Amino acid sequence: MIRVLVVDDQPGFRSLLMQQLQREGFEVAGAGDAHEAVNVASNFHPHVLVGDWMLEDGHSGVDLALALQAAGVQAKLILMSAYPKETVEAEARSAGAITLLTKPFELPQLVAAIQRALDEDRQGDQLGTLKVEQ
């Protein structure tokens, strides 16, 4: 089963995403900040991480990606942001994000982004261009 870690500091939104992804057949865990995400990911071993661009603890998606890499967690990164700008896109790309989703988004967009990340992983492709979905 595909494991997805959802990291968002808004508990209601995080819970909603987790429930929807579980209904889609994914095994899902959640975290509210970067520190919790590293702890959860170390035991959960997600295939894909869906993380908010800016967390209330002051950490960004780049910080989260670097912390997970340092902890030895190898997961495809999908970032979400309510305010994507060119700088956010550049930083998301530098963090290795495969997709940047603009909030609000529809569940099919997220599922497609997860599938794309897994397809690239299975094919052994290097990350190409960042896909920004609005």
CA distance 118 to 109: 14
CA distance 134 to 131: 10
pTM over 0.85: yes
CA distance 130 to 78: 10
Question: What is the tally of structural domains in the chain?
Answer: 1
Read off the CATH number of the domain in which 48 is found: 3.40.50.2300
Per-residue pLDDT of the chain (134 residues; tens, 9 = 90+): 999 999 999 999 999 999 999 999 999 999 999 999 999 999 999 999 999 988 888 888 788 888 888 888 889 999 998 876 777 888 888 788 888 898 889 999 999 999 998 887 665 544 444 566 65
- Domain, as residue range, for 16: 3-133
